[in-house]
Structure 1
Amino acid sequence: MTTPDDPRPGDGRPDDDIDAEFARMMEGLDLEEPEPPSADATSDADGELTELTVEDVLGTAEGVEDPDAPRPIAVVATSVASAKALAGALRLASDTRSETAETPEGTHILDTDSGAIALGALDETSAHELAAQISGALQRLGIVLFWRRGDRMTATRYRQGERGEDVSPTILLGGVAPAVEQLLLGSVDAEELGEGIDPRGVTRMQALRWIATGRRKR
């Protein structure tokens, strides 16, 4: 029988010495069992697991373009006689707009058999901004915005800068030049129709001259 003050049989060391030795042996060791990586974990450049955040997931879904996804295309069909007249009107109208309503980058204006068109590889929001700007510049003339991405195609009327009704594209395509339908279906590239006019690069003097020339031809 031993007492609390007696040495343990076979080692000759008191309990305090054994506890201290055990503490020294275990110093720096982590005995907690690591948690398995979650399904939302990924590896960084050093191979260490990092946890995905909500921003990471949303950024992948919304901020990264899928290279295999079809490019959107917007075509604004007008009855304006020439691309120069339409570009001039849009340029002059920009003087009355705020800086935040700048013509979307990538917009070009071309001539077709049924009137000048504005087109660009624009997302849906930018396409409607462009249509509102053009219809506001033309005042009394109505225009139609055609927009397509993948299997989805829409057609929307605009007048005096205000969005009107959505109409079946097949109904309205019959009233515009065949080039518009070919652009929307992808059977013709914009480059095949010519370089076009970038309205962002038109000066005020050019706009005034083009509009004046168009009026004299009438």
Structure 2
Amino acid sequence: MRTLIIFWAFFLFPFTLLAQSGSDALSQVTLAMANQNWDKATVFFHKAVAADIAKSEMYYWTEVDKNSTVCPLLARELALSYQNARNYDKAYLFYKELTQMQPSNIANLLACGNMEMLRGKEKDALILYEKVIEIDRDNLSANIFVGNFYYLSAEQEKEKIETDFKKISAPTRMQYARYRDSLNRVVATGYSKAKQYLQNVLQHFPSVEAQKTLDKIQLIEKAINR
């Protein structure tokens, strides 16, 4: 009977027990940080995050020295946990923290860019991926993203130019010249940029998709320049 009561109490009050577990782990984090045992602090913080991520986040903001060695390790724990929970806004917040602490860390920049993509902020993601390429010109993930971004942007712009021109029933020579200039501008900017990054992809990885996109760009260039 005693065993049944203990089991039932845990079933009824699991959150209380988990919160207590999280508090105990955070107490161990405090002790480990006081002893500058960063590995131990990270292990206990991982346990605290698993038990109560909200309390662990509050602990991070209020109790952790942002200039300490352990701070990026704890921020990463929160970023990964929120990412796994598909809370991309929170995950982005902590990956952004990491990029500010370690601005040349490619893994952090890529992760932050990925969160921006998942949040539907492609232009902000572009800035982060371009930063990666500034640090590592041959980074495969960044070149794929940037190349495809410029290609799709050029496709959208080209489609708008062609749609607007088709609305003119009897275009004048001046209107036709402007139409051709607009298409040439898209080729010289958007498509040209896309080629640059996608060709860089092929230099390091035999991507079938990148080659298909480059073939499409070549056909577009021939059609516009004829």
TM-score by length of 1: 0.22
- Larger relative contact order (C-alpha < 8 A, sep ≥ 6)? 1
Kindly indicate which of the two structures has a greater share of residues assigned to helix. Answer: 2
Structure number with higher strand proportion: 1
